[in-house]
Amino acid sequence: MSGHAALAPSARYRWGNCPGSLHEIAKVPPPTTSAAAQEGTDAHDVAAGFLRRFRDDPNRTQRVLTEAEPREMFDYLMFVAQFCESGHEPLLVEHPLRALTKYRSDIWGTGDAVVQPAESIDLAPQPWSNGADRIHYPKGTRHVIDLKWGQGIQVEAWDHDAGTPNLQLDTYGLAAMLEEIPGVAQPGYIAMHIFQPRGFSELGAARSSPPIPVVDMVTEHLPALLTQAGAVDATAPGEGLNPGPWCRKTFCPAQGTCPAYREKVTGYSGSPFTSVAVGTVEQDFLAWAKGEETTSYTQDEVADLLDKADLVLAWAKGVVSWAKAVKEFALNEASAGRPPTGYGIEQGMGIRKWDKESPLASIVRATGLKKAQCMDAKLKSPTQLEKAVNDDEKWAKITKKFVVRELTKPKLVKTKGGPAPSPVFESVAPTDLDAQGTLLS
């Protein structure tokens, strides 16, 4: 068994919500690997190497890391290490989780780290934990840890409003639950964790689910997975397309060609740009704002326009993201020898950069310039340094002495109690998009 599973856990957020996506994706050529995706693959390889050395080290110390490793790798290793405190727990690293293939041959994946601690364990609080100081995971909990190296999209382990796990982790959790681990008893609970050291989150790098009883996994989560997979089987080509946040968040390769996504994001089912019209209220308001009209507006009306302005910005971001997906698709087509009519590929010229890694000494010698004339030394930002210092006490002293916070331009913020915004375009309601132009549902 090699390659990728047709119903890969990593894509379940997409295929579980958009059963037609498999047919739609099959129409487009496979995307070429991006630099970011390659960086993620490389980081996983490096992290797996550390974890294996850590697992196989009789003392299980952090010496498997060298000074040169990025801080994020150290943090990941420390996060996983806390589940291995007895020193002899089997730790599965980059392990193929295939136990679900007894139900569906097309659902399997690779677990970054799976471990079942010998004892109970307490972890840092989570937003779903109702103010508890630490989260208690009982003895017999099997933990599934997923390393996310990306920093663009923050991934949560647990939707604390819905009380459900992230669908990718849920699938890994089910597969890990069914996995036979020699010398380890069947688990009583499953817990899932995301470790995303480079993505900003007020919750920190680690986000976790509560311990989920295995009985719930078997009676609720497994049937839900199989129902979603069954819906994919039952969907004919061109049907079952359901645009939502999963289009962008899972980087659906069909975004550039999918009619349902285009219609939802642009608000138009025909040619997307022929019927864009700004309502007369907006035109009046613009004229009034420019001093061309003396019409006065109530505060409620201005608030409504502000809401619309935010929606238009979100709508524009959604359209830009859709347009980028179209361009990427067209470039892939051209690269595969099928250029769109009237288009061809031209090699772009990148910015100049130094050919060798450290040309400084040679340049200083050859030009007669001083070192300081060749280099810009720049202090890192307070946010970057705070992370590097990683010592609250030391940092408080530096903050007191050297850090100032300049006031920025005042901005309007939304307060409670305003009027409900009205739709700006007939088919795009104020609640359809977030500020980044990602579909909310």
C-beta closer to ligand SF4: residue 39 or 239 = 239
Per DSSP, the residues of 156-220 read -SEETTTTEE-HHHHHHHHHHHH---TT-PPPSEEEEEEE-TTS--TT-SEEEPPPEEHHHIIII
Considering only the stretches 114-122, 240-248, 313-321, 336-344, report the one whose residues sit in contact with ligand SF4 under the rule CB under 6 A: 240-248
Rounded least distance, CB 260 to ligand SF4, Å: 5
In this structure, the number of other CB atoms found within 10 A of the CB of residue 352 comes to: 6
How large is the angle between the packed helices 222-233 and 167-178, nearest 10 degrees? 110
Residue 266 contacts ligand SF4 per CB under 6 A: no
Closest-by-Cβ residue to ligand SF4 is 258
Query: Which residues, 6 or more positions from 241, have their beta carbon under 8 angstroms from its beta carbon?
Result: 18, 20, 21, 24, 258, 259, 260, 261
Considering only the stretches 3-11, 242-250, 267-275, 378-386, report the one whose residues sit in contact with ligand SF4 under the rule CB under 6 A: 242-250
Residue 254 contacts ligand SF4 per CB under 6 A: yes
C-beta closer to ligand SF4: residue 263 or 310 = 263
Rounded least distance, CB 255 to ligand SF4, Å: 5
C-beta closer to ligand SF4: residue 18 or 84 = 18
C-beta closer to ligand SF4: residue 208 or 438 = 438
Considering only the stretches 38-46, 175-183, 239-247, 303-311, report the one whose residues sit in contact with ligand SF4 under the rule CB under 6 A: 239-247
Residue 241 contacts ligand SF4 per CB under 6 A: yes
CB 82 within 8 A of CB 121: yes
Rounded least distance, CB 334 to ligand SF4, Å: 21
Among 141, 255, 266, 438, binds ligand SF4 (CB under 6 A): 255
- Count of residues in contact with ligand SF4, rule CB under 6 A: 15
Residue 8 contacts ligand SF4 per CB under 6 A: no
Residue 258 contacts ligand SF4 per CB under 6 A: yes
C-beta closer to ligand SF4: residue 18 or 206 = 18
Among 260, 305, 424, 433, binds ligand SF4 (CB under 6 A): 260
Residue 243 contacts ligand SF4 per CB under 6 A: yes
Query: Which residues, 6 or more positions from 129, have their beta carbon under 8 angstroms from its beta carbon?
Result: 135, 210
Residue 265 contacts ligand SF4 per CB under 6 A: no
Residue 261 contacts ligand SF4 per CB under 6 A: yes
End-to-end CA distance of the chain: 35
Among 18, 107, 123, 144, binds ligand SF4 (CB under 6 A): 18
Say which amino acid occupies 279: G
**How far apart (Å, rounded) are the C-alpha atoms in residues 45 and 49?**
6
C-alpha separations of 279 from 174, 283, 285, 419 in Å: 51, 7, 10, 19
To the nearest 5 percent, what fractions of the chain are helix, strand and coil?
40, 10, 50
Residue 246 contacts ligand SF4 per CB under 6 A: yes
Q: Return the closest-CA partner of residue 210 out of 155, 170, 249, 181.
A: 170
CB 64 within 8 A of CB 77: yes
Rounded least distance, CB 250 to ligand SF4, Å: 7
C-beta closer to ligand SF4: residue 20 or 197 = 20
Residue 21 contacts ligand SF4 per CB under 6 A: yes
Considering only the stretches 42-50, 65-73, 223-231, 252-260, report the one whose residues sit in contact with ligand SF4 under the rule CB under 6 A: 252-260
Rounded least distance, CB 4 to ligand SF4, Å: 16
Considering only the stretches 13-21, 41-49, 201-209, 286-294, report the one whose residues sit in contact with ligand SF4 under the rule CB under 6 A: 13-21
Ramachandran bin of 238, using left for φ above 0, alpha for ψ from -120 to 50, beta for the remaining angles: left
- Tell me the three state secondary structure of residue 258: coil
Residue 432 contacts ligand SF4 per CB under 6 A: no
**How far apart (Å, rounded) are the C-alpha atoms in residues 377 and 106?**
53
Residue 24 contacts ligand SF4 per CB under 6 A: yes
Among 247, 265, 319, 424, binds ligand SF4 (CB under 6 A): 247
Residue 189 contacts ligand SF4 per CB under 6 A: no
C-beta closer to ligand SF4: residue 403 or 440 = 440
Query: Which residues, 6 or more positions from 7, have their beta carbon under 8 angstroms from its beta carbon?
Result: 15, 104, 106, 107, 229, 232
Residue with tokens 């409003």: 161
Q: Return the closest-CA partner of residue 14 out of 224, 226, 242.
A: 242
Q: Return the closest-CA partner of residue 403 out of 376, 387, 385, 377.
A: 385
CB 414 within 8 A of CB 255: no
Considering only the stretches 174-182, 195-203, 238-246, 417-425, report the one whose residues sit in contact with ligand SF4 under the rule CB under 6 A: 238-246
Binding residues (CB under 6 A) for ligand SF4: these are 14, 18, 21, 24, 241-243, 246-247, 252, 254-255, 258, 260-261
